[in-house]
Structure 1
Amino acid sequence: MSDFDHTQLDDLIHSRIRLAVMAVLAGVEKAEFTFIRDQIKATDGNLSTHLRKLEGKEYITISKRFEGRKPVTEVALTALGREAFLAYLNHLESMLGATGLKG
């Protein structure tokens, strides 16, 4: 496998919004839907669609609860999701490192 083998990048994570979601979740135990939405500046509908895709691959878990009468949706990375995100980052880093460019 070449350092530049882009086919090794996880297509599910490679989407801009899903990459941003994964990055937000990598730094916390769990996050409320509204926090993620505000951090990545997505619409409710767009974020929901991307979360369903990540949940379908079991990269995240979504739980719902109520605070009083207000519904609260919480999202967390699964162990599989954290592993996939680290693999994605490592491969991207190796691709960038292979360029020889210095930052």
Structure 2
Amino acid sequence: MATLAAAEEAEFGFVRDGVQVSDSLLSKTVSALEKAGYVEVRKGYVGKRPRTWLRLSNRGRAAFAAHVAALRTIADGALPPVSAE
């Protein structure tokens, strides 16, 4: 989700390499995220080679932003007070 949040659209291989997972694991994850309405999948060709592009849907972007905000709230509350010294 974080990789896709940083781009309008990303090629499957780029995402796979960036998060360092197998094709199979990424494919299963993308299928689950697509089913949840968080990721949109577009298939096509570059020359004669098939390619798959991924993008976050509006719903996916909103869910990711809410998740990051919740993590920031947790992190902010978990930090000890900063000393003025």
Other-structure match for 2:5: 26
Structure 1: gaps spanning 5 or more residues:
1-21
Q: 1:78 aligns with which of 57, 63, 77?
A: 57
Q: 1:51 aligns with which of 30, 37, 40?
A: 30
1:88 and 1:36 map into 2 onto residues whose CA distance is: 20
Percentage of pairs with the same residue = 35
1:69, distance to aligned residue in structure 2 (A): 1.5
| Within-5 A mapping of 1:1-103 | 22-101=1-80
1:27, distance to aligned residue in structure 2 (A): 0.7
Indicate the SS of the match to 1:98.
Answer: helix
1:52 and 1:70 map into 2 onto residues whose CA distance is: 21
1:100, distance to aligned residue in structure 2 (A): 2.7
User: Deviation digits for residues 27-66 of structure 1, max 9, x if unmatched?
Assistant: 1100000000000000000100000010011101001001
- The number of residues matched between the two structures is 82
1:46 and 1:37 map into 2 onto residues whose CA distance is: 9
For 2:3, the aligned partner's letter is V
Structure 2: gaps spanning 5 or more residues:
none
For 1:90, the aligned partner's letter is A
Q: TM-score, normalised by structure 2?
A: 0.91
